[in-house]
Structure 1
Amino acid sequence: MSVTTGQPATTRHGNSYFTSLPREWYTSPEIFRKEIDKIFHRQWIYVGHVSQAKNTGDYFVARAATESIIVTRAKNGGLRAHFNVCRHRGSQLCDELSSGNTKRFVCPYHNWTYDLDGKLAGAPATRDGVDFNYSEFGLQDAYVDTFHGSIYVWLGREQPACTLREQLTGGGQFPIDDARIEIAEPERLKLAHEVRYEIKANWKLMIENNIECYHCISGHPSLMVSCDATNYFYERDEEGGLKIKGDGSYGLRPDMKTFSMDGELVSKKQLGALEPGDSIVWVDNLMWNGTCFFTDHSQRGIVNPLTVDTCELWMQWFVHENAVEGVDYEVGPLTQVFKEVAAEDHAFVERNARGVKSSRYVPGPNNALRETDMEAALTMYLNMMET
């Protein structure tokens, strides 16, 4: 296996087994910088839901990989996505992860003012067309698009290499079935709760953890309450372990109505035509971030790289747009399972990261039955790094 920095390695050892990546791929600042360019600036990245910016002037500040992005509903009714950077001296316009409604964005540093479309509307003690042309100093934009109510941005300067729909439905490891997703009516959701955890680990370790469940039966007792561990692997492994089922659903136990600690509903409002016990999985293909839809709620997990050795696990829970907190749902029961799973994964991944930094770390054979998605994901990753 090659470990030369900048030379993507194969993780397959002949016909016998595959491994994770060598140490340098989790610890090298040079490789991390290349990842930001090759991976995160060359695909559509999820930043939020349309319910977060429904009306003109609504905005929220999202984290997309290492960038801060302002998503706003413009006067023409469309969505705009601006890099959260003033064109004067680079100050952030809006507080990180803030939201609200506004007619304009005003930089708190020197009061440069921008309209919702990102055009520079005013700069104190300057004259448009005399001191400089305001039209040349609008906010930098990211490409923005939506898919079934979810908002994505493209961070690269170049035109997107594919449409959002092509990225999500056009192949990859888990292509999304449009007709199946429509059953849940995802456009009619609203954000009920979200949490962010800063993980002291390279982002790929978090992704690898999330796409295998070799560790789930022993490591996630809360998850196993609702999930049928026998339903998640390919037919060749009928004995156990967690995996998205081949039909694009999530393996709830037969007696479970939804994904909760006791299997009982956590919201009274049904999502579309989903019945108790139903589930749908949506995976963002190139990022391996997942969304699960159940009869009464939806939950999404996103991994953002922050530095070479820190990442963010961002989790969101959605309910029907007409559900009322305290009447139809309570945040505690809604979020309990995934919060407990996240706390367990937090500890596992940070422990993994500490070990990977050892000079004696050499990746060993991964389980051909219970970690099989890791090989597909790592192959996709390495192909992206080569292009």
Structure 2
Amino acid sequence: MNATTTESDLRVTPEAPVPPSPDSVLEHGRYFTSLPREYYLDEERFKSEVDRVWCEQWVYAGHVSQIPRPGDYFILNMQDESLIITRSSATEINAFHNVCRHRGLRLCQESKGHFGPRIVCPYHTWSYGRDGTLHKATRMTDGEFFDYADWGLAKAHVSVWQGFIFVSMAEKAPAPVSSMIDAKTNADMEMIEPLRMKVAVEKIYEADANWKLLLENGVECYHCPSVHPEFCVSLDASAMADYYAEDYLPNLVQGLIIPVKGELESLSMDGRYLSKKLLGKFGEGTPIPYAFGTGFMTQPGYAWGGFHPDYGMVASTLPVSAGRSIMICQWFVHEDAVEGVDYDVEEMIKIWDITNHQDLAIQERQQLGVSGRRYVPGPNSPSQEPGIHSALRKYLEMMGEPY
């Protein structure tokens, strides 16, 4: 040790994490990663995501069975936006912004209900037709100060595919959902006749985690054996990994299969049917193909639906803030299935309920870890996590960022 060197000079200082290259947040030579820390924490980025991702893409809203009669409606709330999903007529479904065109009052407070011949604002009794046209501005005659035709309810875009309702708040509608779904998924979904299903039960989960963590977790099954032992009793986890590696497409909407082990009947705690009343043509005696399963998925804003011969489940994640999300799950059965006779609600939801709680607990722990100052995303598996790569590239594309 020379005269100018001190003991403190010889101490090893831990190296700071190396941030990703500024021109590529995913690609790092021989490997790819998830996103940098600030992508899961920054509230300004979150607001931009709502505008550029969530309001632009197709978002799963619900099923036509929820609004069987003209005038029926339900509400979809997403961050600061609220949409009224309503059956305006026997053949038309609309999505209106839940805002009176007079002074901005939210028209509907209840989560679901039925309109009479008019949608009436309770503030100053402006009234609208079921098709959203302004019928009466109280004590202001049409054409006296303004034209009623210019002040109907603001609409969002609607695309109904196989009875499932998707909405988009984009200025220009994305391509119809039906145009994005492959022929095999269409054929398989027609086998179970979704228009003859109903929602047996709906459950809402809350998570202190960024919505992209829910997305990333959902498009890989690398974690399934270690996190979901109950799920893996009937799930074919290796086929799930193969699906994301071989069949996954970075589309806003696409087909999805959540595969069941071939020797079993359905995705359940013991692999047996959860409803005695089988779906669609299977309930009429049509032979069930080996390991049958079908469904759909949206991304980057993430929803997925998995259907088997006896029931299905659709889960839709929605953003609340940079560090908070909700997930709305709906379980579907045949429209003629009778609770307590053909199916038991608690048994039906059990496998997904356990799995959802396990996943969201993991995402909350992950949010805590990602929030740490030392976090830098590590290498992802090209064989087990390729879905993350595709989903995040689509996210960056919509955000206008290089990948």
Fold shared, TM-score > 0.5 on shorter chain: yes
* Counterpart for residue 53 of structure 2: 39
Aligned CA RMSD, in angstroms, stands at 2.6
The structural deviation recorded for 1:235 is 9.6
* Counterpart for residue 229 of structure 1: 237
* Counterpart for residue 391 of structure 2: 377
The structural deviation recorded for 1:101 is 4.7
- One-letter code aligned to 2:29: G
Q: Please report the TM-score for the alignment, with normalisation by the length of structure 1.
A: 0.87
- One-letter code aligned to 1:140: A
* Counterpart for residue 210 of structure 1: 218
Q: 1:179 aligns with which of 175, 183, 187?
A: 187
Matches of 1:378 and 1:287, distance apart in 2: 11
Say if 1:316 and 1:64 are closer, same or farther in 2 by CA, change over 3 A.
same
* Counterpart for residue 14 of structure 1: 29
* Counterpart for residue 140 of structure 1: 154
Q: Is the contact between residue 167 and residue 285 of structure 1 (CA under 8 Å) also seen in structure 2?
A: no
- One-letter code aligned to 1:327: V
The structural deviation recorded for 1:236 is 12
Q: Percent identity?
A: 38
Tell me if 1:200 matches 2:208.
yes
Tell me if 1:267 matches 2:275.
yes
Q: Is the contact between residue 209 and residue 363 of structure 2 (CA under 8 Å) also seen in structure 1?
A: yes
Q: Deviations over 1:249-303 (max 9, x none)?
A: 3322234211111222211211124538521132235544211111111111111
Tell me if 1:365 matches 2:379.
yes
* Counterpart for residue 289 of structure 1: 303
Tell me if 1:337 matches 2:337.
no
Q: 1:163 aligns with which of 164, 167, 176?
A: 176
Q: Is the contact between residue 295 and residue 305 of structure 2 (CA under 8 Å) also seen in structure 1?
A: yes
Q: Is the contact between residue 256 and residue 295 of structure 2 (CA under 8 Å) also seen in structure 1?
A: yes
Q: Please report the TM-score for the alignment, with normalisation by the length of structure 2.
A: 0.84
Tell me if 1:256 matches 2:271.
no
Say if 1:148 and 1:279 are closer, same or farther in 2 by CA, change over 3 A.
same
Q: Which runs of 4+ in 1 moved over 6 A?
A: 1-4
Say if 1:267 and 1:102 are closer, same or farther in 2 by CA, change over 3 A.
farther
Partner of 1:315, secondary structure, is strand
Matches of 1:235 and 1:257, distance apart in 2: 20
Q: Deviations over 1:96-123 (max 9, x none)?
A: 5323353322223333222211122223
Q: 2:342 aligns with which of 307, 325, 328?
A: 328
Larger radius of gyration: 2
Matches of 1:2 and 1:96, distance apart in 2: 47
* Counterpart for residue 304 of structure 1: 318
* Counterpart for residue 329 of structure 2: 315
Matches of 1:66 and 1:225, distance apart in 2: 40
Tell me if 1:220 matches 2:248.
no
- One-letter code aligned to 2:219: I
Structure 1 stretch displaced more, 57-66 or 350-359: 57-66
Q: Deviations over 1:156-198 (max 9, x none)?
A: 12x22422223444xxxxx973222222211211111111122
The structural deviation recorded for 1:73 is 1.2
The structural deviation recorded for 1:79 is 0.9
Q: Deviations over 1:121-142 (max 9, x none)?
A: 2233433332433322211011
The structural deviation recorded for 1:356 is 1.2
Say if 1:76 and 1:270 are closer, same or farther in 2 by CA, change over 3 A.
closer
Q: 1:116 aligns with which of 121, 125, 130?
A: 130
Extract unaligned runs of 5+ from structure 1. Answer: 170-174, 238-246
Say if 1:228 and 1:97 are closer, same or farther in 2 by CA, change over 3 A.
same
